[in-house]
Amino acid sequence: MTFKALLASKPGDAIATHLVDFQDEDLMPGDVTVVIEYSTVNYKDALALSGRSPVIRQFPLIPGIDFAGIVETSSHPGFAAGDRVLVNGWGLSQTHHGGFAQKARVSGDWLVKVPEAFSTQQAMAIGTAGYTAMLSVLALEHGGLSPERGDILVTGASGGAGSVAIALLSGLGYRVIASTGRQEETDYLHELGAAQVIDRRTLSEAGAPIGKERWAGVIDSVGSHTLVNALAQTQYRGVVAAFGLAQGADLPGSVLPFILRNVTLAGIDSVNAPQSARVQAWSRLARDLDVDKLARTTQVVGLAEVPAIAGRVLEGKVRGRTVVDVNA
Residues 94-117: tens digit of each pLDDT:
999 999 999 999 999 999 999 999
| Confidence tier at 237 by pLDDT (50, 70, 90) | very high
| Domains assigned to the chain | 2-114+297-325 (3.90.180.10), 127-267 (3.40.50.720)
pLDDT value for 12:
87
**What average pLDDT does range 18-34 have in this prediction?**
96
* pLDDT tens for each residue of 254-294: 999 999 999 999 999 999 999 999 999 999 999 999 999 99
- DSSP helix/strand/coil, 32: strand
Whether residue 27 has pLDDT greater than 90:
yes
Q: What percent of the chain has pLDDT over 70?
A: 100
In the prediction, which pLDDT does 130 show? 95
Containing H/E element for 308? helix 306-314
Above 90 in pLDDT, residue 225?
yes
CA distance 259 to 255: 6
Give me the pLDDT at residue 1, please. Answer: 82
- Mean pLDDT score across all residues of the chain: 96
State pLDDT tens for residues 32-70: 999 999 999 999 999 999 998 899 999 999 999 999 999
User: What integer pLDDT is reported at residue 316 of this predicted model?
Assistant: 87
Q: Which residues of 87-115 are buried (b: 16+ CB within 10 A; e: fewer)?
A: bbbbbbbbebbbbbbbbbbbbbebbbebb
- DSSP lists the bridge partners of residue 66 as 88
pLDDT for 216: 98
DSSP 138-202: HHHHHTT--GGG--EEESSTTSHHHHHHHHHHHHTT--EEEEES-GGGHHHHHHHTEEEEEEGGG
Q: Is the pLDDT of residue 173 over 90?
A: yes
Q: Under DSSP, is residue 264 helix (H, G, I), strand (E, B) or coil?
A: strand
